[in-house]
Amino acid sequence: MSTDDVGGGPNPRVPEIQDPRPSTPLTETFRTGTANDPPRPERAVDPEDGPATLTVDGETVVVPPGGTLLDAVEAAGSEVPALCHYDRDTEAAEEIGPRTTCRTCMVETDEEGPVAACSTPATDGAVVDTEAAAAAEARRHNLELVLSDHNLRCTTCGKNGRCELQDTSIEEGISHPRYGVFDDRDGYEPLDPTGAIDIDRNKCILCNRCVEACNDVQVEGVLRIEGTGEETRIGFQSDAETMADSTCVSCGHCATVCPTGSLVEGGLVDATTMPLPGFTQRNSVGSVLESERDRERDEREATEELSGVARFMSKARRTAGSATDRALRTGEHLAEDVAAGVFSEGILFGIAKRVGDARLDRLDRTETTCGYCAVGCRFELYSDDERVLGVRATDPDAAPANDFSTCVKGKFGYGFIERDDRLKTPLIREGDGFREASWDEALDVVAAELEGIRRDHGADAISCFASSKCTNEEDYLMEKFARTVLGTKNIDNCARLCHSSTVAALLETVGYGAMSNSIEDVANADCYLFSGTNTTESHPVLATKVKRNVRDGADLVVVDPRKVGIAEHADQYLRSKPGYDTAWMNGMARHIIERDLHDAAFVEEHVRDFDALKRKVEPFTSAEVERLTDIPAGELTAAAERIATADSVVFGWAMGLTQHSHGTNNVRAMANLALLTGNVGKPDAGLSPFRGHNNVQGGGGDMGTLPNVLPGYQDVTDPEVLDTFEEAWGVRPPEEIGLTVPETFEAIHDGDVRGLYVMGENPALSEPDIGHANKALEETDFLVVQDLFMTETAEHADVVLPAAAFAEKSGTFTNTERRVQRVGKALDPPGEARQDWEILQSLANRIDHDGRRWDYETPTEIFEELTDVTPIYAGMSHERIETEGGLQWPCPDADHPGTRFLYEDGFNFSDGMARFVPADMGEPGELPTETYPLTLTTGRVLYHFHTGTLTRRVEAITDHVPESFVEIHPETAGTLGIEGGDTVRVESERGHIDVRAKVTERPGKGVVFVPMHFADGAVNTLTGERYDPTSGIPEYKVASVRIERINRD
Amino acid sequence: MSPPGVEPGPVVRVTADTSDRSAVIEAIDDAADVSVRRVGPAGTPSPLGLYTTAGRTAIHTDLRPDAAAEAATTLEDGDFPTTGAEAAVDHDEDTAAIPAPDSGPLSVGTRRVLGPCGWVDPTVRPEPVAAEFDPETVLDRVATVGLRGRGRADGATDDLISAVWERTIEAEGDPVVVIHAADTDCPTDELMCRSIPGRVLDGAGIVADAVGAEDVVALATDPAVEPLEAVADGELIHRAPESFRIGEPTMALEALEGNDRIEARRRPPGPEEWGLYGRPTVVHTPRTLVQLRTLLEDGEGFDPESADPGTRTVAVRGAVRAPAVVELRTDSALSRALSAVDAAGDRYVVGGRFGGVTGSVDLPASAPALSASGLGTEGVLEVLGPDDCIVATVGERAAFAREENCGRCVPCREGSKQLHGALRDVYDGEFDPETLRELARVMRTSSLCAFGEAAARPIRTALEAFEPEFRAHAEGRCPAGTCGGLR
What is the nearest CA distance from B38 to chain A, expressed in angstroms? Answer: 27
Q: Cβ contact (<8 Å) for A17 and B277?
A: yes
Confidence of residue B2 (pLDDT cuts 50, 70, 90): very low
DSSP A189: P
C-alpha–C-alpha distance, residues B148 and B379, integer Å: 13
What is the nearest CA distance from A213 to chain B, expressed in angstroms? Answer: 17
pLDDT of residue A159: 83
Task: Identify whether residues A715 and A850 lie together within a single domain.
Answer: yes
Q: A138 in a domain, yes or no?
A: yes
Please say whether the beta carbons of B13 and B5 come within 8 A: no
Distances (CA, A) of B478 to B389, B422, B471, B472, B473: 7, 17, 10, 6, 5
pLDDT of residue B78: 86
Q: Cβ contact (<8 Å) for B414 and A146?
A: yes
| Domain span(s) for CATH 1.20.1440.230 in chain B | 390-474
pLDDT of residue A466: 95
pLDDT of residue A302: 53
Q: Cβ contact (<8 Å) for A12 and B239?
A: yes
Give me the residue from A31, A39, A228 closest to B406, CB to CB. A228
Please say whether the beta carbons of A1007 and A548 come within 8 A: no
C-alpha–C-alpha distance, residues B199 and B119, integer Å: 13
C-alpha–C-alpha distance, residues B289 and B296, integer Å: 11
Query: pLDDT by residue (tens digit) across B89-146?
Result: 999 988 999 999 999 999 999 999 999 999 999 999 999 998 888 999 999 999 999 9
Give the type of residue at A557: V
Q: A13 in a domain, yes or no?
A: no
Give me the residue from A9, A16, A138 closest to B445, CB to CB. A138
Give the type of residue at B371: S
Give me the residue from A17, A106, A229 closest to B446, CB to CB. A106
Q: Cβ contact (<8 Å) for B261 and A20?
A: no
Domain boundary among A145, A161, A193: A145
pLDDT of residue A1019: 84
Buried b (16+ CB within 10 A) or exposed e, B379-400: bbbbbbeeebbbbbbbbbbbbb
pLDDT of residue A338: 52
Q: Could you give phi then psi for residue B391, rounded to 5 degrees? A: -65, -40
Q: Cβ contact (<8 Å) for B402 and A229?
A: yes
CATH T-level topology, domain B135-296? Rossmann fold (3.40.50)
**Chain A residue numbers touching B403 (CB-CB < 8 A):** 229-230
Confidence of residue A321 (pLDDT cuts 50, 70, 90): very low
* CATH code, domain with A998: 2.40.40.20
What is the nearest CA distance from B181 to chain A, expressed in angstroms? Answer: 14
Query: pLDDT by residue (tens digit) across A584-615?
Result: 999 999 999 999 999 999 999 999 999 999 99
pLDDT of residue A1025: 83
What is the nearest CA distance from B407 to chain A, expressed in angstroms? Answer: 4
**Chain A residue numbers touching B276 (CB-CB < 8 A):** 14, 17
Q: A863 in a domain, yes or no?
A: yes
Confidence of residue A272 (pLDDT cuts 50, 70, 90): low
Q: Cβ contact (<8 Å) for A11 and B279?
A: no
Q: Cβ contact (<8 Å) for A148 and B269?
A: no
C-alpha–C-alpha distance, residues A687 and A818, integer Å: 13
Q: Cβ contact (<8 Å) for A103 and B410?
A: yes
pLDDT of residue A1048: 73
Task: Identify whether residues A533 and A547 lie together within a single domain.
Answer: yes
Please, which residues bridge with residue A429 across strands? A434
Distances (CA, A) of A44 to A40, A41, A65, A552: 6, 5, 9, 14
| Residue (of A714, A32, A457) closest to A449 by Cα position | A457
pLDDT of residue B110: 94
Confidence of residue A303 (pLDDT cuts 50, 70, 90): low
Query: pLDDT by residue (tens digit) across A905-919?
Result: 999 999 999 999 999
The SS3 of residue A822 is strand
* CATH code, domain with A335: 3.30.70.20
C-alpha–C-alpha distance, residues A528 and A547, integer Å: 11
Query: pLDDT by residue (tens digit) across B45-82?
Result: 999 999 999 899 999 999 999 999 999 999 998 889 99
Task: Identify whether residues A353 and A460 lie together within a single domain.
Answer: no
Q: Cβ contact (<8 Å) for B258 and A100?
A: no
pLDDT of residue A27: 46
C-alpha–C-alpha distance, residues A183 and B450, integer Å: 31
**Chain A residue numbers touching B246 (CB-CB < 8 A):** 6
Task: Identify whether residues A120 and A232 lie together within a single domain.
Answer: no
Task: Identify whether residues A252 and A303 lie together within a single domain.
Answer: yes
Query: pLDDT by residue (tens digit) across A424-452?
Result: 999 999 999 999 999 999 999 999 999 99
Q: A402 in a domain, yes or no?
A: no
Query: pLDDT by residue (tens digit) across B422-471?
Result: 999 999 999 999 999 999 999 999 999 999 999 999 999 999 999 999 99
Burial level of A683, CB count in 10 A (0-12/13-18/19+)?
Answer: middle
* CATH code, domain with A452: 3.40.50.740
Q: What's the structural domain count of chain A? A: 5
Task: Identify whether residues A205 and A260 lie together within a single domain.
Answer: yes
Give me the residue from B173, B174, B257 closest to A14, CB to CB. B257
C-alpha–C-alpha distance, residues A950 and A406, integer Å: 17
Give me the residue from B261, B274, B442 closest to A138, CB to CB. B442
Confidence of residue A307 (pLDDT cuts 50, 70, 90): very low
| Domain span(s) for CATH 3.10.20.600 in chain B | 311-384
Give the type of residue at B487: R
Listed range (A159-173, A564-578, B395-409) with the worst mean pLDDT: A159-173
Q: A373 in a domain, yes or no?
A: no
Task: Identify whether residues A201 and A325 lie together within a single domain.
Answer: yes
Please say whether the beta carbons of A678 and A597 come within 8 A: no
pLDDT of residue B484: 66
* CATH code, domain with A680: 3.40.228.10
The answer, yes or no, to whether residue A22 has pLDDT greater than 90, is: no
* CATH code, domain with A52: 3.10.20.740
Supply the mean pLDDT for chain B: 94
Q: A707 in a domain, yes or no?
A: yes
Domain boundary among A130, A145, A160: A145
| Domain span(s) for CATH 3.40.50.11540 in chain B | 135-296
Return the number of other C-beta atoms located less than 10 Å from residue B448's C-beta.
Answer: 28
Task: Identify whether residues A488 and A554 lie together within a single domain.
Answer: no
Overall average pLDDT of the A1025-1038 stretch: 87
C-alpha–C-alpha distance, residues B44 and B59, integer Å: 12
Q: Which residue of B has its CA nearest to A233?
A: B407
C-alpha–C-alpha distance, residues A447 and A437, integer Å: 15
The answer, yes or no, to whether residue A2 has pLDDT greater than 90, is: no
Chain centroid to CA A780: 35
C-alpha–C-alpha distance, residues B386 and B383, integer Å: 10
DSSP A872: G
pLDDT of residue A1027: 87
Listed range (A177-186, A281-290, A553-562) with the worst mean pLDDT: A281-290
C-alpha–C-alpha distance, residues A727 and A340, integer Å: 73
**Chain B residue numbers touching A227 (CB-CB < 8 A):** 261, 407
For chain B, how many residues are written?
A: 487
Size of interface A-B (CB pairs under 8 A): 205
Q: What is the CATH number of domain B311-384?
A: 3.10.20.600
The answer, yes or no, to whether residue A10 has pLDDT greater than 70, is: no
Q: Which residue of B has its CA nearest to A83?
A: B410
The answer, yes or no, to whether residue A28 has pLDDT greater than 70, is: no
Query: pLDDT by residue (tens digit) across A623-635?
Result: 999 999 999 999 9
Q: Residue A761 belongs to what domain range?
A: 427-498+696-888
Task: Identify whether residues A481 and A513 lie together within a single domain.
Answer: no
Please say whether the beta carbons of A1035 and A925 come within 8 A: yes
What is the nearest CA distance from B254 to chain A, expressed in angstroms? Answer: 7
C-alpha–C-alpha distance, residues A3 and A9, integer Å: 11
Overall average pLDDT of the A524-547 stretch: 94
Q: A382 in a domain, yes or no?
A: no
pLDDT of residue A3: 44
| Residue (of A763, A768, A792, A798) closest to A780 by Cα position | A798
Q: A274 in a domain, yes or no?
A: yes
Task: Identify whether residues A136 and A170 lie together within a single domain.
Answer: no
**Chain A residue numbers touching B269 (CB-CB < 8 A):** 38, 44
Please say whether the beta carbons of A1009 and A937 come within 8 A: yes
Return the number of other C-beta atoms located less than 10 Å from residue A431's C-beta.
Answer: 6
| Residue (of A53, A183, A37) closest to A127 by Cα position | A53
Overall average pLDDT of the A968-977 stretch: 94
Chain centroid to CA A677: 30
Task: Identify whether residues A63 and A118 lie together within a single domain.
Answer: yes
**Chain A residue numbers touching B170 (CB-CB < 8 A):** none
Task: Identify whether residues A678 and A804 lie together within a single domain.
Answer: no
Q: Which residue of B has its CA nearest to A229?
A: B407
Query: pLDDT by residue (tens digit) across A364-379?
Result: 899 999 999 999 999 9
Listed range (A77-91, B364-378, B413-427) with the worst mean pLDDT: A77-91
Query: pLDDT by residue (tens digit) across A741-797?
Result: 989 999 999 999 999 999 998 888 887 788 888 899 999 999 999 999 999 999 999
Give the type of residue at A624: E
Distances (CA, A) of A848 to A450, A451, A785, A948, B461: 10, 8, 21, 37, 96
Q: Which residue of B has its CA nearest to A232?
A: B407
What is the nearest CA distance from B451 to chain A, expressed in angstroms? Answer: 12
Domain boundary among A82, A114, A145: A145
The answer, yes or no, to whether residue A24 has pLDDT greater than 90, is: no
DSSP A70: H
CA count, 13 A, side-chain hemisphere, A67: 21
| Residue (of A705, A805, A375, A865) closest to A878 by Cα position | A865
Q: Cβ contact (<8 Å) for A4 and B222?
A: no
Confidence of residue A957 (pLDDT cuts 50, 70, 90): confident
Considering the segment(s) B390-474 as one domain, its CATH architecture is Up-down Bundle (1.20)
Query: pLDDT by residue (tens digit) across A707-733?
Result: 999 999 999 999 999 999 999 999 999
